[in-house]
Structure 1
């Protein structure tokens, strides 16, 4: 069994270590999405469509939304500078917070909001698109966006190990603003 020290100095077992690995893995998912969309690494984003090459990380996904009650809203914000900036800032900040294990409350809140918006854009309850085609939704309520949001909340509610949390929580600005933990 693994034994590590938690931020408060107590010894802990495999559960917290497993959560630390999960936290870094989920953080890496957010950071990879940021890197691919920012630099066009050729996976989900071609180099010519990279954000740093003038492309839009929201245009392709949001302009193709054709289900749910918010489709016109999502299509309207597709490719706007502020939607791109918020999305990319969120991906980067959430990823860094998770990998470092600091600022998990705000990262979980921002990540859960991002996942809720992405869930609403895909609208899993829909059986058919606005064009009448089957959506192929596998579950009308719980999909990977909901699971990611729940994981983020669980990680924020658990004292992190393998993190910079002790240093982060000791900063005067964080002490004065506990919501930054």
Structure 2
């Protein structure tokens, strides 16, 4: 660089600022928000109602299974095999259809009175909880356990090496609980605001 006042070339300026110090003062690039799960407006409303519809549909699946086995409505259980007429809700499936590495265990508990009561109570409780939108965490945990056990009762599945609808049901139940699907078209907010649930948050 030429110094006009002195008429001779001046030495080049030396930057003493450390590279890391200079980099620290450089403006940061703008942060781009992750919009994968941030939905607003109409999309958020549609998502809430979609989740509520899935919740109601699954609730009806569980409740219908209970009613059919209790009364023998003829869809999956004949009237003569209804629970009220002395039939066993678990004897048919676990005693005859169970196959695979866990078949011995399921055959041994098929038709057991205590197992029948637990199975029917689970169907009723999960179905009612999902339809009302209350106790979603418990319903998701119990429903996930029940559907995974039903998956293990017949391995491998008939139409796939390992995947079937029972595992999908378990995953969907978990999503419904995590996203609070009981607050839309359900009593989830009232349930969460009740003194009992506020003292015991695991009941949500």
TM-score, L = length of structure 2: 0.75
* Alignment-derived partner of residue 114 in structure 1: 146
Query: Equivalents in 2 of 1:38, 1:162: separation in Å?
Result: 27
Summarize the alignment of residues 1-181 of structure 1 with structure 2, pairs less than 5 Å apart.
12-124=44-156, 137-160=158-181, 161-181=184-204
Query: Equivalents in 2 of 1:66, 1:87: separation in Å?
Result: 16
* Alignment-derived partner of residue 27 in structure 2: none
Which region of structure 1 is more displaced relative to structure 2, 96-105 or 60-69?
60-69
Kindly indicate whether the alpha-carbon contact (under 8 Å) linking 1:62 and 1:121 is maintained by their aligned counterparts in 2: yes
Work out which of the two has the higher radius of gyration on C-alpha atoms and give 1 or 2.
2
Change (3 A) 1:66 1:91: closer
Kindly indicate whether the alpha-carbon contact (under 8 Å) linking 2:103 and 2:154 is maintained by their aligned counterparts in 1: no
Which region of structure 1 is more displaced relative to structure 2, 168-177 or 146-155?
168-177
Kindly indicate whether the alpha-carbon contact (under 8 Å) linking 1:65 and 1:74 is maintained by their aligned counterparts in 2: no
SS at match of 1:138: coil
Structure 1, unaligned runs of 5 or more? 1-9, 126-136
* TM-aligned CA deviation for residue 67 of structure 1: 2.3
* TM-aligned CA deviation for residue 73 of structure 1: 0.7
* TM-aligned CA deviation for residue 65 of structure 1: 3.9
Query: Equivalents in 2 of 1:66, 1:27: separation in Å?
Result: 25
Structure 1 stretches (4+) deviating beyond 3 angstroms? none
* TM-aligned CA deviation for residue 77 of structure 1: 0.3
SS at match of 1:64: helix
* TM-aligned CA deviation for residue 66 of structure 1: 4.9
Report the RMSD for the aligned CA atoms in angstroms: 1.5
* 1:74-113 alpha-carbon deviations (Å, 9 max, x no partner): 0000000111011100000000011111101000000000
Q: Which has the higher relative contact order, 1 or 2, with Cα contacts under 8 A spaced 6 or more apart?
A: 1
Query: Equivalents in 2 of 1:68, 1:26: separation in Å?
Result: 27
* Alignment-derived partner of residue 14 in structure 2: none
Kindly indicate whether the alpha-carbon contact (under 8 Å) linking 2:98 and 2:106 is maintained by their aligned counterparts in 1: no
